[in-house]
Amino acid sequence: MPLLATATAMLLAFFTLASASAQSAQQPQKPELPQITKTPDAKADEAARAAARARAHHFDHVVIIVLENVDYEIAIQDTNFAALATQGASFTNFHALFHPSYPNYIAMVAGTDFGTHNRRFYLADNQVNFPNDAVHHTIADRLILAGLDFKQYAEELPAGPCPWNVAAQHVAQKRGNYVRRHVPFLSFRSVQEKWCDRVIRVDSSNAKNFFVQDANKGLVAYSFYSPNMNHDGHDTGVAVAGAWVKKFLDETFTEKLRKGTLVIVTFDESGGNADNRIYTLFLGDMVKPAAQQDPAALGRRYTHYSVLRTIEDNFGLEPLTANDRDAQPITDIWK
């Protein structure tokens, strides 16, 4: 009996073990998840990038005002432009990129002019509609992706439904004091089709226009302001452009409304000097006044790509092309 009991117990144990193994085989095993750990070098790199972004952030909003076709040497002698230069950072070695106007405007927002300055068709400042694809991006794409926003303000922009029939309403060389080539975002199908509500008409004769309303409520991160052909000096001259900018900053976009906003006043291109040198001013409560600026810093060579790179760095955006990636960002002017 003891021997038989022992054998029976061994058989029961065997079948119990086999049954457990079978059940285990039928149930999927949870894989062990690898433990993701950051190496000291990765942690240091991430900290360095965060610190760099923090150092590069100087303003909450930027408004870019672009005027037309004046040499630096002429603009700086104008009473109003000279007075403005004493209030912020006025660069003495700043250069436009091309002639004529149109490729400069495109490069300001896209980091490239897409070759338009090399094609005979564009000598007359004719415009195109760049396709909505993976190549033809602007800073608008970067801002939207980052959860920020942009607006293009255009004085006397022709009225029309959104999305517009651009061919009918906006390709015309000139409509009154408005031209589309000075409104760069309208050259991109992505803006025409997806974000046309960000292109805002400004009735310059109305003291309570849409820009004023937005400025009182709070501007988006990035604003590009295109004055009409009289205010930008194209059809008038440097004295009219200087007087308009002064009045705009004194009466429309006042110092109270500009808190935390970097205002950039620049020209698209020179009027014909040999090196395309233009007047460009950074103005805001984050910019050191002229008396505290280092002349060497103001005398560094900058271009429209430098402005784009500085804005990208400020908002933590990836550069659009090698042009803005390799451009010298504007530094050493901040409080």
Q: For domain 63-326, which CATH number applies: 3.40.50.720, 3.40.720.10, 3.40.30.10, 3.40.50.2020?
A: 3.40.720.10
Please report, for the chain, the start and end positions of each structural domain, with discontinuous segments joined by +: 63-326
Are 206 and 200 within 8 A, CB to CB?
no
How far, in Å, CA of 178 to CA of 13, rounded?
93
Secondary structure letter of residue 248 according to DSSP: I
Q: What is the mean pLDDT of residues 139-150?
A: 98
- Asked which of 35-39, 220-224, 290-294 is least confident by mean pLDDT, the reply is 35-39
Q: What are the pLDDT digits (tens) for 249-275?
A: 999 999 999 999 999 999 999 998 889
How far, in Å, CA of 264 to CA of 114, rounded?
24
- pLDDT score, position 318: 97
How far, in Å, CA of 27 to CA of 74, rounded?
83
pLDDT at position 215 over 60: yes
Token digits of residue 9? 């117990």
Q: What is the mean pLDDT of residues 168-188?
A: 77
Angle separating helix axes 40-56 and 304-315, nearest 10 degrees: 120
- pLDDT score, position 4: 42
Tell me whether strands 280-283 and 261-267 are parallel, antiparallel or unpaired: antiparallel
Token digits of residue 241? 């452009």
User: CA neighbours within 13 Å on the CB side: how many for 53?
Assistant: 10
Contacts of 309 (CB under 8 A, 6+ apart): 319, 324, 325, 327, 328, 329
When the pLDDT of each residue in the chain is averaged and rounded to a whole number, the result is 85
Query: Rounded to whole angstroms, what are the CA distances from 189 to 37, 132, 193, 215, 312?
Result: 43, 5, 6, 27, 22
Q: Which amino acid is at 303?
A: T
pLDDT at position 123 over 60: no
Contacts of 329 (CB under 8 A, 6+ apart): 56, 306, 309, 310, 313
How far, in Å, CA of 245 to CA of 206, rounded?
16
- pLDDT score, position 27: 45
Q: What is the mean pLDDT of residues 86-101?
A: 96
Closest CA to 52 of 295, 314, 292: 314
Token digits of residue 48? 């360095």
Buried b (16+ CB within 10 A) or exposed e, 80-115: bbeebbebbbbbbebbbbbbbbbbbbbbbbbbbbbe
pLDDT at position 120 over 90: no
- pLDDT score, position 258: 97
The residue assigned the tokens 């060497």 is 296
- Asked which of 26-35, 93-102, 109-118 is least confident by mean pLDDT, the reply is 26-35
Angle separating helix axes 101-110 and 304-315, nearest 10 degrees: 20
pLDDT at position 3 over 50: no
Contacts of 285 (CB under 8 A, 6+ apart): 258, 259, 260, 335
What's the pLDDT band for 135 if we cut at 50, 70, 90?
very high
Are 206 and 214 within 8 A, CB to CB?
no
| Cα dihedral 140, 143, 147, 150 sign | negative
